[in-house]
């Protein structure tokens, strides 16, 4: 059971480089999202998507781009990496955008360091 | 707006001790409430949930009761084990919204 799969697990970037974090889910979930996790700040929503072709900004979208061309994939692009983007990134999905008790499922995380 | 407040950590307990991690929330209406657990180096996993007032969620010996009158969803376990060492997140979602709102997490370490 693959669930939500993220790659890479670890990455070191130089300031100004760009990269893409990949996320795929095999549960046919409509809703996908990206969070970053920083010490003392919990999880903060970067971008989310309620279906193929539809994306929207979360709490901390600056410096990141997303697209949703298929139901399964939701890549996160760092346009020009900055040290402030050093963080752990989690992709997450849920069956539908709304609904009572609708559980969200997380990938295992991507540890990104920008030097 | 919607928000979740958890007790500050870290929490250190001896094996077999009683655990309480406090969680209160701010929300309109009747959100669904969740506890997630994150083991070292892993993503978050659902621990338990409750979808309406007075519901009790339970799993692996953990329990939490949805208290509308005190806007709380405290996590409890009667006897913790070393394997319970992890970070615990309280969260809410509005049934008509599409976002989850997480607390900042509470780190628990259980020592033998």
Cα–Cα distance, B11 to B19 (Å, whole number):
9
What mean pLDDT comes out for the span A107-115?
96
Give backbone dihedrals phi and psi of A60, rounded to 5 degrees, phi first: -130, 65
Instruction: Please report the pLDDT score of residue B58 as a whole number.
Output: 97
Residue of B nearest to A108 (CA): B43
Q: Cβ of A108 and B45 within 8 Å?
A: no
Reported as a single tens digit per residue, the pLDDT across A76-97 is: 999 999 999 999 999 999 998 7
Q: Which carries the bigger pLDDT value, residue B99 or residue B112?
A: B112
Q: Which carries the bigger pLDDT value, residue B76 or residue B7?
A: B76
**Does an H or E element contain A10, and which?**
strand A10-13
Closest-CA distance, A16 to chain B, in angstroms, reads: 27
Chain B residues within an 8 Å CB radius of A4? 43
Instruction: Please report the pLDDT score of residue B28 as a whole number.
Output: 84
Closest-CA distance, B84 to chain A, in angstroms, reads: 18
Q: Decide: A19 and A78 in contact? Cβ < 8 Å.
A: yes
B51, B102, B105 member nearest A100 (Cβ): B51
A4, A31, A100 member nearest B32 (Cβ): A100
Retrieve residue A65's tokens.
């781009």
Instruction: Please report the pLDDT score of residue A31 as a whole number.
Output: 93
Chain B residues within an 8 Å CB radius of A106? 36, 43-45
Measure the CA angle with vertex A17, ends A12 and A20; round to 5°.
75
Share of chain A above pLDDT 90, in %: 84
Residue B99's pLDDT band, with cuts at 50, 70 and 90, is confident
Residue of A nearest to B99 (CA): A97
Reported as a single tens digit per residue, the pLDDT across A23-32 is: 999 999 999 9
Chain A residues within an 8 Å CB radius of B25? none
Instruction: Please report the pLDDT score of residue B50 as a whole number.
Output: 95
Instruction: Please report the pLDDT score of residue B89 as a whole number.
Output: 95
Reported as a single tens digit per residue, the pLDDT across B32-84 is: 999 999 998 888 999 999 999 999 999 999 999 999 999 999 999 999 999 99
Average pLDDT, chain A: 93
In B1-112, which ranges are E strands? 3-6, 11-14, 19-21, 23-26, 32-38, 44-50, 56-59, 62-65, 75-77, 86-93, 100-102, 106-111
Share of chain B above pLDDT 90, in %: 81
Instruction: Please report the pLDDT score of residue A1 as a whole number.
Output: 64
Whether B96 shows a pLDDT value over 90: the answer reads no
């Amino acid at each position: 059971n693959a669930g939500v799969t993220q790659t890479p697990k670890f990455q070191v970037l130089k300031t100004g480089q760009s990269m893409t974090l990949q996320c795929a889910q095999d549960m046919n979930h409509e809703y996908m999202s990206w969070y970053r996790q920083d010490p003392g700040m919990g999880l903060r929503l970067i971008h989310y998507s309620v279906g193929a072709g539809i994306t929207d900004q979360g709490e901390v979208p600056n410096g990141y781009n997303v697209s949703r061309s298929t139901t399964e994939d939701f890549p996160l692009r760092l346009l020009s990496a900055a040290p402030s983007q050093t963080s752990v990134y989690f992709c997450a999905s849920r069956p539908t955008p709304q609904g009572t008790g609708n559980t969200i499922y997380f990938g295992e995380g991507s540890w990104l360091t920008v030097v | 707006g919607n928000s979740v407040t958890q007790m500050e950590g870290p929490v250190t307990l001896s094996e077999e001790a009683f655990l309480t991690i406090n969680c209160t929330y701010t929300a309109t209406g009747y959100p669904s409430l969740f506890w997630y657990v994150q083991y070292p180096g892993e993503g978050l996993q659902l621990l338990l949930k409750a979808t309406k007032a007075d519901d009790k969620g339970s799993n692996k010996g953990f329990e939490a009761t949805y208290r509308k009158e005190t806007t709380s969803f405290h996590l409890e376990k009667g006897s913790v084990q070393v394997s319970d060492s992890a970070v615990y997140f309280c969260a809410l979602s509005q049934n008509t919204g599409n976002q989850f709102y997480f607390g900042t997490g509470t780190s628990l370490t259980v020592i033998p």
